[in-house]
Amino acid sequence: MREKGLNYILLVFKGLIFSLIITILLVFILSLVLLYTPFKESKIPLFNTVIMIVSITIGSIYVSTNIGENGWINGGILGILYFLVLVLLNYLFFKPFLVDMYLLGKFILSLITGVIGGIIGINMK
């Protein structure tokens, strides 16, 4: 029983790391696109949201296909953890922690995206 719990935590952690690696790669690609194309910097928040959605979806699919059950719960957990990591990094490196509608919207988007990715992952198996 204990081994199953550790395996579950390890799979969720791997999915979270996988999502964060995808985020780093996509942000790097975005920075190159912004550098060499005439895209406006005012579109960065939109691109960041798209990158977040793609990363959480892929990580949730990974987690739910490897765990094999309760995809929507596992995807939702991954979405929440991803959001918490981003909030922590933002707090540590950029600006003070403010709870506002923007933050709440990102949380809900992360949760819903994780749930949908988990459902997709279960149905792919």
DSSP 49-113: HHHHHHHHHHHHHHHHHHH-S-HHHHHHHHHHHHHHHHHHHHHHHTS-----HHHHHHHHHHHHH
Q: At what angle do helices 101-124 and 44-67 cross, to 10 degrees?
A: 40
Contact 77, 116 (CB under 8 A): no
Residue 2 predicted with pLDDT over 80: no
pTM of the model: 0.90
Contact 20, 89 (CB under 8 A): no
Q: Tell me the pLDDT tens digit for each residue of 91-109.
A: 888 777 777 898 899 999 9
Q: 91 lies in which domain range? A: 2-124
| Average pLDDT over the chain, rounded to an integer | 90
Rounded average pLDDT over 67-78: 90
Tokens coding 112 = 């819903």
**Structurally, how many domains does the chain consist of?**
1
